[in-house]
Amino acid sequence: MADSSKKVFLQPSEISRRVKELAGEISRDYAGEEILMIGVLKGAFIFMADLVRALSIPCQTDFIRAASYGAGTESSGKIVMTKDVELVVDGRNVLIVEDIVDSGLTLQYIVDTLKARNPKSVKVCAFLDKRSRRKVPFEADYVGFTMDDGFIVGYGLDFNEQYRYLPAVYVIDPVGHHKNEEQQ
Ligand code: PRP
Q: Residue 5: its pLDDT value, please?
A: 76
DSSP secondary structure string, 96-121? EEEEEESSSHHHHHHHHHHHTT--SE
Q: Residue 184: its pLDDT value, please?
A: 32
Does 28 or 69 have the greater pLDDT score? 28
Total number of residues shown for the chain: 184
With bands split at pLDDT 50, 70 and 90, how would you rate the model's confidence at 6? confident
CA-proximal residue: ligand 1, atom 16 (nearest): 67
With bands split at pLDDT 50, 70 and 90, how would you rate the model's confidence at 70? low
d(CA 12, CA 61): 24
| Residue 83, C-beta contacts closer than 8 angstroms, at least 6 positions apart | 41, 63, 64, 65
| Stretch 12-31: mean pLDDT | 98
With bands split at pLDDT 50, 70 and 90, how would you rate the model's confidence at 117? very high
- The answer to whether residue 165 scores a pLDDT higher than 70 is yes
Q: Which residues are catalytic?
A: 102
With bands split at pLDDT 50, 70 and 90, how would you rate the model's confidence at 78? confident
| Stretch 175-181: mean pLDDT | 55
d(CA 28, CA 25): 5
Span from the CA of 31 to the centroid of ligand 1 (angstroms): 30
DSSP reduced 3-state for 13: helix
Span from the CA of 67 to the centroid of ligand 1 (angstroms): 7
Any atom of ligand 1 within 6 Å of the Cβ of 108: no
DSSP letter assigned to residue 30:
T
Any atom of ligand 1 within 6 Å of the Cβ of 105: yes
Measured from the Cα of 130, ligand 1's closest atom is 12
With bands split at pLDDT 50, 70 and 90, how would you rate the model's confidence at 73? low
β-sheet with 93-101: strand ranges across: 79-83, 59-68, 35-41, 93-101, 121-129, 142-146
